[in-house]
């Protein structure tokens, strides 16, 4: 599966291998762990989409119900959880709804 280097929309993660490939192939990756039934996740969705559109970060969305094993392996206990990866390494994590400016600031610090 080939993944574009840059994208203006969040990428739906299909498997743990797909997520690993995204993290390996891109300098900055924001992973949004979410669930369809999660109200705060729905509140955060437009912000995450704007970040995908406006920054150089690749935004990956992981549905914790579809990929339960991946969420368990990443020790995701609440949603939304946002993980930031820089150069293949996990660099930062936040839990809950966050402001766009705060998230963009983390991306800029990692770039």
Catalytic residue set: 38, 41
Phi and psi based region of residue 87 (left: phi greater than 0; alpha: psi -120 to 50; beta: remaining): left
The pair of three-digit structure tokens given for residue 18, joined into one six-digit string: 């797909």
Pairing of strands 81-86, 28-34: antiparallel
Measured distance CA(9)–CA(38) in Å, rounded: 20
Residue by residue, DSSP assigns 10-55 as PEEP-SHHHHHHHHHH-SEEEEEEE-TT-HHHHHHHHHHHHHHHHS
């Amino acid at each position: 599966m080939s993944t574009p280097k840059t994208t203006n929309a969040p990428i739906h993660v299909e498997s743990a291998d797909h997520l690993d490939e995204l993290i390996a192939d891109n300098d900055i990756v924001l992973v949004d762990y979410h669930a369809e039934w999660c109200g705060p996740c729905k509140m955060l969705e437009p912000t995450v989409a704007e970040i995908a559109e406006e920054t150089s970060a690749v935004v990956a969305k992981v549905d914790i119900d579809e990929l339960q094993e991946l969420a368990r392996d990443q020790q995701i206990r609440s949603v939304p959880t946002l993980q930031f990866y820089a150069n293949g390494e996990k660099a930062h994590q936040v839990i809950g709804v966050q402001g766009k400016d705060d998230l963009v600031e983390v991306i800029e610090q990692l770039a």
